[in-house]
Amino acid sequence: MGEHKGLRVIPGGREERRARPEPLWREALGERLRTLRQEQRSTLVDTAGRAGISPQYLSEVERGRKEPSSEMIAALAGALGTSVGDLVGQVAEMMRRRTAVVVGGDRRITAPAMPRTTMIAPNALLMAA
């Protein structure tokens, strides 16, 4: 990125960060569901059977390819021995750890988690010379 007259890029800014964008809700949910299932040493077939869904659908949910309905999330939570509230809380905590800072337009950069009261302005990476 070229510098604009009178502005310079602050070291450690967006050009130096090459992190993965913040995950989507369905990706984080799928990751948490898979982790819970594997911790219980349960197979896709067993967990899907308890939830009343096909193993193929559960696999797609775990990979973040499908966004399940609230009823489906409740069925999966029950099949894994947890509640919807606990599952949602766990996913929210995972996402909080991967706080994204939006820097101009749609570009998202993963940054360390910050207190919820901290805000970063889009122009925080640029400083007047």
**Please, which contacts does 88-92 make with residues 24 or more away whose CB atoms are closer than 8 Å?**
90/32, 91/25, 91/28, 91/29, 91/32
Question: In this predicted model, what pLDDT tens digit does every residue of 16-29 receive, in sequence order?
Answer: 455 567 789 999 99
Question: In this predicted model, what pLDDT tens digit does every residue of 45-88 receive, in sequence order?
Answer: 999 999 999 999 999 999 999 999 999 999 999 999 999 999 99
Residue type present at position 101: V
Asked, for residue 4, whether it belongs to a domain, the answer is: no
- Considering only CA atoms, give the Rg of the chain: 20
Per the DSSP assignment, residues forming a β-bridge with 101 are: 109
Residue 42's CATH number = 1.10.260.40
pLDDT band at 10 (very low <50, low <70, confident <90, very high): low
* Count of structural domains, the chain: 1
CA-CA distance, 120 to 99, in Å (whole number)?
A: 12
Which backbone phi and psi does 92 adopt, to 5 degrees?
-60, -40
Asked, for residue 116, whether it belongs to a domain, the answer is: no
> pTM of the predicted model, to two decimals?
0.63
Asked, for residue 31, whether it belongs to a domain, the answer is: yes
Asked, for residue 92, whether it belongs to a domain, the answer is: yes
pLDDT for the residue numbered 20: 62
Q: What range defines the domain where residue 59 resides?
A: 25-100
Asked, for residue 79, whether it belongs to a domain, the answer is: yes
pLDDT band at 97 (very low <50, low <70, confident <90, very high): confident
CA-CA distance, 126 to 105, in Å (whole number)?
A: 15
Higher pLDDT, 31 or 21: 31
Asked, for residue 120, whether it belongs to a domain, the answer is: no
Asked, for residue 18, whether it belongs to a domain, the answer is: no
